[in-house]
Amino acid sequence: MIYEVIVAGKTHRLELEATASGGWQCRLDGQTVEIDALIPRRDVLSLLVNGRSYEVKREKTATDLHMWVGSSRFAVELRDPRSLRSRLHAAANDKGPKKIVAPMPGRIVRVLVEEGSEVLAGQGLVVVEAMKMQNEIKSPKKGIVKKISATVGAAVNPGDVLGIVE
The reply to whether 65 and 101 lie within a common domain is no
pLDDT score recorded for residue 63: 72
Question: Is 86 part of a structural domain of the chain?
Answer: no
pLDDT score recorded for residue 58: 92
Question: Is 85 part of a structural domain of the chain?
Answer: no
Could you tell me the residue range of the domain that residue 58 belongs to?
A: 2-79
The reply to whether 126 and 62 lie within a common domain is no
Residues of 58-78 as b/e, b for ≥16 C-beta within 10 angstroms?
ebebbeeeebbeeeeeeebee
Q: How far apart are CA 158 and CA 65, in angstroms?
A: 17
Question: Is 63 part of a structural domain of the chain?
Answer: yes
pLDDT score recorded for residue 82: 55
First-to-last alpha carbon distance for the chain, in angstroms, is 35
Question: Is 21 part of a structural domain of the chain?
Answer: yes
Question: Is 89 part of a structural domain of the chain?
Answer: no
The reply to whether 74 and 99 lie within a common domain is no
Q: How far apart are CA 32 and CA 147, in angstroms?
A: 48
Q: At 53, which amino acid appears?
A: S
**58: nearest Cα among 14, 8, 28, 103:** 103
The reply to whether 35 and 98 lie within a common domain is no
Last residue of a domain, one of 31, 46, 79: 79
pLDDT score recorded for residue 112: 94
Question: Is 34 part of a structural domain of the chain?
Answer: yes
The reply to whether 70 and 132 lie within a common domain is no
Residue 2: Cβ within 10 Å count: 12
What CATH number does residue 146 fall under?
2.40.50.100
Question: Is 36 part of a structural domain of the chain?
Answer: yes
Q: What are φ and ψ of residue 123, in 5° steps?
A: -75, 140
Residues of 125-144 as b/e, b for ≥16 C-beta within 10 angstroms?
bbbbebeeeebebbbbbebe
Question: Is 74 part of a structural domain of the chain?
Answer: yes
Q: How far is CA 114 from the centre of its chain?
A: 24
**DSSP run (H or E) holding 83:** helix 83-92
Structural domain count, the chain: 2
The reply to whether 160 and 132 lie within a common domain is yes
Is the pTM here over 0.85, yes or no? no
pLDDT score recorded for residue 144: 94
pLDDT in single tens digits along all 166 residues of the chain:
788 888 877 888 888 887 777 777 889 998 988 888 888 999 999 988 888 999 999 988 777 888 999 888 888 887 765 554 445 445 445 678 888 888 788 999 999 999 999 998 888 899 999 878 888 888 888 899 999 998 999 999 888 899 999 9
The reply to whether 109 and 151 lie within a common domain is yes
